[in-house]
Amino acid sequence: MKNFKQSKLLQTLPKQFFASLVEKSGKVVALGHDVINLGQGNPDQPTPQHIVQSMQNAVLKPQHHKYAPFRGHDFLKEAVAAFYKREYDVVLDPATEIAVLFGGKAGLVELPVCLLNEGDTVLVPDPGYPDYLSGVALAKANMEVMPLEEKNNFLPNYQNISESVLKDAKLMFLNYPNNPTGAMATAAFFEETVELANKNNICVVHDFAYGAIGFEGNRPISFLQTAGAKNVGVEIYTLSKTYNMAGWRVGFTVGNASVIEAINLLQDHLYVSLFSSIQEAAATALLDSQHCVDELVEMYEERRNVLVNGLKEIGWDVNAPQGSFFAWLKVPNGYTSESFSDYLLENAHIVVAPGIGFGSYGEGYVRVGLLTSTERLQEAVDRIKKLQLFS
């Protein structure tokens, strides 16, 4: 059989760091061990029943068995506009300020291709979601990292970005509540961001994947709530986390009309929009009762408290995340993020994600997902206690 060589473009794509994590944990499972997987970012709860029922009803409609409109149904974009008005008091034009996505990841990877030319500069948070790098590579752009450090509450310090980098920058990725750190943005930080973007003609892309998940009564804020935000950027929202619809692959981009048009134009050549029944179910999720979301956030907060309090009790100095469904934990002295992850897997049969997989500034941390029951989280604490790492 002939072996056709991959294009140079494909060869420039970043390696998938977490594939090795899956491989390592799979070997331990194959040996018959009971592995507690806290390294994943995949919601563990089912999609709420009323959304599933909406999908079931929609599938029976013959009009949904055809190609959907290229840029999505008006009813879904109108639902998105109603959602943003209700939740954030942000007014959106469904026709020009909303683009339907095949999940949030698609938009994050597409945007650099839509807006950048070869050699343009992108500002990327470090640590950050690894797939930001995929879009940068596809666009043949240059990447400049913005360190997220605990001393600055895991917010980038714009004062540390050189004037020459700001002059060349065309795009900036942000993500709050943050993956992997669990940090939240403040209104003042977003105001500073808008000012910087205006001054330097930078398009801001705010990844709002965990927009529903804030703890202790702290509600995450939308970037678009900031005065002037729509002038300088967009926000990407996914239904994966808010409504446990990760497998449904539906999200949207909202904000600056010129950016929305660019995304729509690219997607015109890639897709013929989402299956209409999924769009109908997504509209149901956005418009119907949000009680399921409240319950979900309460569940994650309970899990967070069990994990964080348990780890503190055994002597691990950890900070509770403000939002998202991740905790960002410092590794003990003498370990790297990867060696500590390997140690937990081999000696406690617990999977955590090494911080180095999210960027060089992730070194010294591991990411833990709150995506299993409180009982399993407590068991993980008990297993770590037996290792006597903190005694």
Domain boundaries, the chain: 8-45+292-386, 49-287
Cβ neighbours of residue 34 closer than 8 Å, sequence gap 6 or more: 349
* pLDDT tens sequence across 361-380: 999 999 999 999 999 999 99
Q: CB of 114 within 8 A of CB of 136?
A: no
Q: What is the mean pLDDT of residues 100-124?
A: 95
- Distance, in Å, from the CA atom of 235 to the CA atom of 107, rounded to the nearest integer, reads 10
Calculate the average pLDDT of the chain.
95
Q: CB of 165 within 8 A of CB of 121?
A: yes
Structure-derived torsion over alpha carbons of residues 18, 19, 24, 29, reported in degrees to the nearest 10: 110
> Which one is predicted more confidently, 194 or 131?
194
Q: CB of 220 within 8 A of CB of 323?
A: yes
Q: What is the pLDDT of residue 210?
A: 97
Q: What is the mean pLDDT of residues 83-93?
A: 98
Q: What is the pLDDT of residue 4?
A: 92
- Distance, in Å, from the CA atom of 332 to the CA atom of 365, rounded to the nearest integer, reads 9
pLDDT band for position 23 (cuts 50, 70, 90)? confident
Q: What is the pLDDT of residue 40?
A: 85
Share of the chain above pLDDT 90, in %: 89
Q: What is the pLDDT of residue 252?
A: 97
pLDDT band for position 22 (cuts 50, 70, 90)? confident
Which among 74, 63, 129, 67 is positioned nearest to 100, based on CA atoms? Answer: 74
Structure-derived torsion over alpha carbons of residues 44, 45, 47, 48, reported in degrees to the nearest 10: -170
Rg (CA), the chain: 21
Domain covering 49-287, topology: Aspartate Aminotransferase; domain 2 (3.40.640)
Q: Which tokens is 59 given?
A: 């599938």
CA angle, corner 318, sides to 220 and 358, nearest 5?
65
Q: Does residue 20 carry a pLDDT above 80? A: no
- Distance, in Å, from the CA atom of 4 to the CA atom of 173, rounded to the nearest integer, reads 35
* pLDDT tens sequence across 247-274: 999 999 999 999 999 999 999 999 988 9
Which among 290, 232, 224 is positioned nearest to 89, based on CA atoms? Answer: 224
**CATH code, 8-45+292-386:** 3.90.1150.10
* pLDDT tens sequence across 30-87: 888 899 999 988 899 999 999 999 999 999 999 999 999 999 999 999 999 999 999 9
